[in-house]
Amino acid sequence: MHTDTERCARAVRSKDARFDGWFFTAVLTTRIYCRPSCPVVPPKPENMTFYPSAAACQRAGFRACKRCRPDTSPGSPQWNQRADLTARAMRLIADGVVDRDGVPGLAARLGYSTRQIERHLLAELGAGPLALARAQRAQTARLLIETTGLPMARIAFAAGFASIRTFNDTVREVFALAPTELRARAPRTPGGARGALSLRLPFRAPLHPDNLFGHLAATAVPGVEEWRDGAYRRTLRLPYGHGIAALTPAPDHIACRLTLTDLRDLPVAISRCRRMLDLDADPEAIDGRLRTDPVLAPLVDKAPGRRVPRTVDEAEFAVRAVLGQQVSTAAARTHAARLVTAHGEPVDDPEGGLTHLFPSTGALAALDPETLAMPRTRRTTFTTLVGRLADGSLHLGVESDWPRARAELLALPGLGPWTADVIAMRALGDPDAFLPTDLGIRRAARDLGLPATPAALTARAADWRPWRAYAVQYLWATDSHPINLLPV
C-alpha cells in the first residue's frame, strides 16, 4: 500500500487508525516517522514519504515519533492472511527465530537460501531480516525500559542485543533518547524484576470478544488454561523457559499480564498472544467482504469484528483436535486434562489454578498407547500424529505452507477433512479454511436457508473467499453454545 502515495496521504490527513501498521509516514523535514493516525498536525504532502515497515524507516535514517509511538502499532494484517515466502518469514521473525538462530536459521526453516530471503524482504519491506529483527528488539527494549525497574544491562540482553553498547546506540538512534531518558518519561510498573509485565495489546477496531474469549474459555484444558476474574489465563511453553499469560478484553485494547521465567521470551510471548487472539486482522476488509452476501450481512451487522480464536502452540492444538474427534467439548477437555496431569510439566502459579504446561510431543510419543481411553482407530491416529511431530517428519508452525501442511495431515490414518481444516484454521492461521462438514455449520446453514450438503455449501461459500474462516465464526455464533458467550 505504501506505493499508493495519494491513498496514504488521505489516510494521514484523516488520521485513520485503520491503516496503522499497513504503512508508516516518514517526514522529510523532521526526520521522524509516524503511524497514519498520529495526532499531530499532518505535514505537507511534499514533505511526506511512505514506507512499508518501521525497520525500513529506521534503515532510511528516521526516528520514531514520541507522540504516536509507531513501534506499538498493530502488525500488518498481510502476514496473517498470506502464505507466501515474505509472510511466512515475517511470522518467523516475530516469533524470534532470527534472534535465536540468525538469518541462516530463518532460511533453513523456510527452505530457501539466505540470499533469496534477503531479496524478497528488501523488495517488499525495504529492510532485510536483520533490520526487521533489530526493529523488534528496539520495541522490546522500550517496553522493558518503560514498564520495569530492571537494570539496563539486563534489559539489553533480555531484548536480544549482543552488547550494552549496541543496545544504547540502537535506542538512541530509533527513539532519539537515551535509555535512561526513556525511563524517566514513563511511569514504571512494579514487579518487573520478577518477570511480571503489564502491557496493552492494540488491535484494529471493531473487535467482538464474545466468541473469541468464549471459545478459549469453553474449551480450556484444566491446569493449562482457565477463566479467572474476567481474564483468560494460560501457561506458555517458550524458547528459553515458560510463562503465564493473562488476557483481559477492553474496549480499545487487550490488557496483557505476562509472568516469564526468562525475559528473553518477552517478544515471543507477545507475538504468540497476539496471534492467538488474531489481533492483527483487518476487520474492515473481512466484514466488508462477508457483508456482500445477503445471508451473512445481518450476522456481521449484529456483531462486527469477530476474530478466529487460534493457539499459542500449533502442535498442541493438533493433538487436542484429534482428542476432540467425534466427542463433545467436555469429553475432549477431560481427555486432554488426563494427559496434562500424567505427562505435563508442573509450573508454579501463585495467582490462580494453572498447574502444568501442556505435554511436549516427545513426552506424548513416549506414553503407552494402551493407557489412552479412546477407540483403537483414534488411538492410532493420536500415536501416529504425535510420533510424526516428535521426530520432525511433520512440522506445524507459523511458517507452515498451508496447502502442504493440510495434505500431510490428511495423509495420516484416521485424520479427515474436518480435523485437517480445523487445524489449518485455528493452529496454522489459514483465513480461508472452511468446515462444511461441521455439525454446527450445517445446523446454521439449515436455519439460514443455505445449502445443507457439504459440497453445495462449499460451492456457495466461494463468494466468501478469502475469509471463509471468519464466516465460520459468524455461522457458529447463531447457536447458543458456550463457545459463543463471553464468560461471566
The model's pLDDT over 136-149, given as tens digits with 9 standing for 90+, comes to 999 899 988 988 88
Determine the residue type at 231.
A
Beta bridge partners of 158: none
Tally of CA atoms within 13 A in the half-sphere of 451 that contains its CB: 12
Catalytic residue among 20, 280, 432, 438: 438
Alpha-carbon span 55 to 136, nearest angstrom: 8
pLDDT at 9: 92
Alpha-carbon span 474 to 211, nearest angstrom: 9
Alpha-carbon span 120 to 273, nearest angstrom: 27
Alpha-carbon span 482 to 16, nearest angstrom: 35
The model's pLDDT over 86-145, given as tens digits with 9 standing for 90+, comes to 999 999 999 999 999 999 999 999 999 999 999 999 998 899 999 999 999 998 999 889
Catalytic residue among 34, 57, 68, 273: 34
Across 214-279, where does the E strand assignment appear? Answer: 225-228, 231-237, 242-249, 254-260
Q: Are 266 and 197 in contact (CB under 8 A)?
A: yes
pLDDT at 188: 53
- Domains, in order of start, for the chain: 5-71 (3.40.10.10), 78-147+150-185 (1.10.10.60), 192-279 (3.30.310.20)
Beta bridge partners of 81: none
Is 34 noted as a catalytic residue in this protein? yes
- Reported as type and span, the H/E element at residue 24 is strand 24-27
Alpha-carbon span 263 to 192, nearest angstrom: 9
Q: Are 470 and 286 in contact (CB under 8 A)?
A: yes
Nearest C-alpha neighbor of 179 from the set 191, 192, 166, 189: 166
Is 438 noted as a catalytic residue in this protein? yes
Residues of the chain with pLDDT under 50: 190-194
pLDDT at 460: 96
pLDDT at 77: 82
